Structure 1
Amino acid sequence: MARIHLIIILLVISSTSSSSSSLREQEEDMIKALPGQPQVGFSQFSGYVTVNESHGRSLFYWLTESPSSSHTKPLLLWLNGVFKPTKPTLSFILCNRPGCSSIGYGASEEIGPFRINKTGSNLYLNKFTWNTEANILFLESPAGVGFSYTNTSSDLKDSGDERTAQENLIFLIKWMSRFPQYQYRDFYIVGESYAGHYVPQLAKKIHLYNKAFNNTPIINLKGFMVGNGDMDKHYDRLGAAMYAWSHAMISDKTYKSILKHCSFTADKTSDKCNWALYFAYREFGKVNGYSIYSPSCVHQTNQTKFLHGRLLVEEYEYDPCTESYAEIYYNRPDVQRAMHANLTSIPYKWTLCNMVVNNNWKDSEFSMLPIYKELTAAGLRIWVFSGDTDAVVPVTGTRLALSKLNLPVKTPWYPWYSEKQVGGWTEVYEGLTFATIRGAGHEVPVLQPERALTLLRSFLAGKELPRSY
């Protein structure tokens, strides 16, 4: 299998473009300005890269370069995988699912340079954007997610971990041929949620690819970072039950029933386990499991919307309805033209998550821990972080999983600081750093953008998180 993949990569390399054609492709992908965009001092590019000619699979990207020293700053690839249901589900116990947009989530409500206003008519600046520190590349993956598409409809029903990782690697090789200024540049991968699979799996593919070419890395992978990411289905699920109980979201009786009847060692659960999870679901209530102390989006009367919005934006600087703004904005024809998106007139609307992909995911590795063991030994910089108000992929599960790596402790547990406040807690191991982000949910930069930026700066610098303010 590895030999077949190497042959595929060699064919990709043989088809990469010349320097003159890469300049032309960059010019074609350059975004002059997005509709409703404020004036900015950085360049943007977006477009498609074909990753499978025979099936017609093409992945969509959006590059936002840094406003200063973009020619020397690293390149950071952001991947999303989160599925956020509009109604309460058992997902807080049964783990996340793939199929969501890095542009809708990562770029538009987390780390990107712009935010979308409530009517989807204009953009405003995100003062905590990550492109101050690196050139940020957002990728919608796999095909079928966001603007990424396939000409073979059956592809939507047989996506999985292996094909996604392979085609993400093909994307990077071909994209760097289009943007040769990023070849050999320091490169990092960051993602959250089901990207807890995408990120380490892609990192492993790149690591093996670089070894096959005598470690002269065009893709100069330095490390990766995963936030509230799926790591191990057993420990993630057990940790979710522990978190719900320890935060008084389920009863003692239900928690004991889960521990008794649910082994969480296979994808399928017993009838008794299902009943225990059902009672947990009933007790959980209509709380926002991705950020248990934050309100959910409520669409009611204009007066309620006004009061709701004023409370959230002014007091908490958090608006739970931002996802609906993205669906308005990215379905605008003028926005799609400006982004060179939907060139083939996809016969469906842009959505944050593709539920066909989500519901028909094929291969999903049970545990990422073997990959972490391999890549820590390879010397990559690896950080894992957890927002501590997430009940879906909670800090409890992540800590259980990490403990099974048995990594020696280099720097014992301590509080780290951001903006004169405790930003969270961290422990540094040989080969891996773990950090919590206090007061953040599943999407850490949404509720704690300053702390997330402090985390990024420390990660890129290869330094431990600040011990004081």
Structure 2
Amino acid sequence: MAVGKREILLVAMAYYLFLLVSAGKGGGGEAEADRIIKLPGQPKVSFKHYSGYVTVNKEAGRALFYWLTEAVSHPESKPLVIWFNGGPGCSSIAFGASEEIGPFKIKKNGTGLYLNKFSWNTVANLLFIESPAGVGFSYTNTSSDFNTSGDTRTAKEALKFVIRWLDRFPHYKQREIYLTGESFAGHYVPQLAKEIMTYNSRTKFFINLKGIMVGNAVIDKYYDTLGTVDYWLSHALISDETYKQILKKCDFHKENDTDECYAAYDYADTEKGNIDIYNIYGPTCGYSIIDTITPHNHRIQRIPQRFFSISSRQISGFDPCTENYAKIYYNRPDVQKALHANTTQISYKWTTCNHILHDNWNDRAYSVLPIYKEMIAAGLRIWVFSGDADAMVPVTATKYSLAQLNLTTKTPWYPWYLNNQVLLHYYYRFTDDTN
């Protein structure tokens, strides 16, 4: 039977409507295949979430794993916030998604999930990326990649990820995008921002980057390191004698220092004792071995934690053992299946930090302050925050590094109150002298 013009028009219209729905709701079949139905032990939620892989280098077999948790309400009107954890070598799924800003936290011993009432997906769509390849579920089929990763390749492949991920989820292409992260993501975030700015200047396809936000961020080698040892001294973590030895034996301008310098740092570790270096006033996990990756690249500390009688939940509900729960939960086969993770059956267990990759980091910028100047000139919004109990990349390091930008203070330091109590002290807000 011949097909009339009316039938052809109806078919064309139906297909066109299908394309519109795909672009507005999920981006098509590839995105829908990444849709998470329900994670094991997951409470009921109103938002959609997706996870899977984006190939960033087909020849080497490198692919980055992501987890998108859409906003609780009206996700179509909310910005896209992309989150990176640092190390280098640490998982954004383990820390950012499961301990800090994601919608779920992991129950004791990895038995299930519970809702995080402070999740950022109340105000934004959250995209967690495990970067570079070899971190968490992100994989490479080229084993030598563990010895050749570095800032340059990480930034370029993060850009490839963003471009290809937006192709998979085209309804996010015009959305406002903010790059965020902590610790060594103080390199990842501005370096990716620079790649995006360069990309936008060379192509018609515009990535709608609006700003960045980094916390306790690695910024400048010299001032970060000086600020860190000053913090240790001012918070009575090390002695005056050890502080003087570090200043005498170490050259903070060098990437790799002398054996005498490392010996001084080792003695400083002895003086600091078995504390949580990321939360010096909090309890430690009483039965585990905590692997601490140092973004300043002095060494990796494997610190056996002694038992503390203090309950891990006595301090504002804080549980210092959550990293161990993540190792249990994300190694469960049913969890990996639900996440569309470990599809290539990598030969090692999922872990929170890849120490081989960290130890062999191939290149790192001495300072990202020049990129800050470029971002300011481009009109990007920049928010740098710093927790004052973190002794790994402390607030003094952040202040020393940012001071090198020589910007004018727009709003002076002041306390921020919540229910008539000082919650925190607000960071400096700077303005460029040329504005």
Percent of aligned pairs sharing the same letter: 58
Match in the other structure for 2:295: none
- Distance of 2:256 and 2:103 partners within structure 1: 41
Q: Residue 102 of structure 1 corresponds to which residue in structure 2?
A: 92
Contact 1:380 1:431 (8 Å CA) reproduced: no
For 1:466, the equivalent position in structure 2 comes to none
Q: Is the 8 A contact 1:379 1:431 kept in 2?
A: no
Structure 2 match to 1:266: 254
Distance of 1:309 and 1:261 partners within structure 2 = 38
Q: Which residue of 1 aligns with 2:16?
A: none
In structure 1, how many angstroms separate the alpha carbons of the residues matched to 2:326 and 2:266?
Answer: 32
C-alpha displacement at 1:236, in angstroms?
1.0
What CA distance in whole angstroms lies between the structure 2 residues aligned with 1:277 and 1:334? 43
Equivalent residue pairs, number = 394
Contact 2:42 2:112 survives alignment (8 Å): yes
1:33 to 29, 34, 38: 38
Structure having the higher Rg: 2
* TM score, norm. by length of structure 2: 0.87
Q: Which moves more between the two structures, 250-259 or 48-57?
A: 250-259
Using a 3 Å threshold, how does the CA distance of structure 1 residues 431 and 139 change in structure 2: closer, same or farther? farther
Is there any run of 5+ residues in structure 2 with no aligned partner, and where? 1-18, 289-306
Paired amino acid for 1:429: F
Instruction: Decide whether aligned partners of structure 1 residues 308 and 260 sit closer, same or farther in structure 2, where only a CA change above 3 A counts.
Output: closer
CA distance in 1, matches of 2:271, 2:389: 18
Question: Contact 1:70–1:134 at 8 Å: present in 2 too?
Answer: yes
Question: Could you tell me which residue of structure 2 aligns to residue 65 of structure 1?
Answer: 70
Letter in structure 1 aligned against 2:100: E
Shift of 1:431: 5.2
**Of 209, 215, 221, which residue of structure 2 is paired with 1:221?**
209
Question: How much does 1:420 deviate?
Answer: 3.9
Counterpart amino acid of 1:180?
A: P
The 2-side partners of 1:310 and 1:125 are apart by 25
How far apart are residue 288 of structure 1 and its match? Answer: 1.4
Between the aligned partners of 2:419 and 2:341, the Cα distance in structure 1 is 39
Output the CA distance in 2 between the equivalents of 1:402 and 1:172: 28
**Cα-to-partner distance string for 1:13-60 (whole Å, 9 max, x where unaligned):** xxxx99789410111000000010000000000000000010111100
Secondary structure, aligned partner of 2:134? coil
Match of 1:427 in 2: 428
Counterpart CA distance in 2 for 1:231 and 1:131 is: 27
Corresponding residue for residue 176 of structure 2: 186
Matching residue of 1:91? none
* Matched residue, 1:147: 137
- Which amino acid letter does the alignment assign opposite residue 240 of structure 2? D
User: Residues 236-255 of structure 1 correspond to what in structure 2 (within 5 A)?
Assistant: 236-255=224-243
Counterpart of 1:256 in 2: which secondary structure? helix
Q: After the TM superposition, which parts of structure 1 deviate over 4 Å for at least 4 consecutive aligned residues?
A: 17-22, 307-310
Q: Any gaps of 5 or more consecutive residues in structure 1? A: 1-16, 83-97, 301-306, 433-469
- Change in Cα spacing, 1:151 to 1:270, as seen in structure 2 (3 Å) is closer
Pairing 1:42–2:32 present: no
Shift of 1:356: 1.4
1:17-28 → structure 2 map (5 Å cutoff): 22-28=27-33
- The secondary structure found in structure 1 opposite 2:108 is coil
1:203 paired with 2:204, answer: no
Q: CA deviation at 1:361?
A: 0.6
Taking structure 1 as reference, are residues 315 and 230 closer, same or farther at Cα in structure 2, changes over 3 Å only?
A: closer
Aligned to 2:165: 175
Q: Does 1:160 align with 2:150?
A: yes
Deviations 1:249-282 (A, max 9, x none): 1111222222233230111223443343233222
Q: What does residue 232 of structure 1 align with? A: 220
Which 10-residue stretch deviates more, 275-284 or 339-348?
275-284
Distance 1:107 1:72 in 2: 22
Alignment CA distance shift 1:420-1:190 (3 Å): farther
Structure 2 CA distance for partners of 1:368 and 1:419, relative to 1, 3 Å: farther
The root-mean-square deviation of aligned C-alpha atoms, in Å, is: 2.1
1:276 aligns with 2:281: no
Deviation at 1:299, TM superposition (A): 1.5
**In structure 2, distance between residues paired with 1:375 and 1:150:** 31
Taking the TM superposition and a 5 Å limit, the aligned residue runs for 1:369-408 are: 369-408=369-408
Label 1:287 to 1:310 Cα distance change in 2 as closer, same or farther (>3 A).
closer
Distance 1:52 1:103 in 2: 21
Please give the per-residue CA displacement for 1:420-458, whole angstroms capped at 9, x wherever unaligned.
4323222110159xxxxxxxxxxxxxxxxxxxxxxxxxx
* Separation in structure 1 between the aligned mates of residue 222 and residue 99 of structure 2, nearest angstrom: 30
Aligned partners of 1:121, 1:292: CA distance in 2, in Å?
Answer: 28
Contact 2:312 2:318 in 1 (8 A): yes
Give me the whole-angstrom Cα distance separating, in 2, the residues matched to 1:126 and 1:431: 37
Q: Could you tell me the TM-score, scaled by structure 1's length?
A: 0.81
Aligned counterpart for 1:53 among listed residues 51, 58, 68: 58
State how far apart, in whole Å, the 2-side matches of 1:22 and 1:142 are. 25
Q: How far, CA to CA, are the matches of 2:199 and 2:172 in structure 1? A: 17
In the alignment, what sits opposite 2:301? Answer: none
Name 2:3's counterpart in structure 1.
Answer: none
Instruction: Output the amino acid matched with 1:78.
Output: W
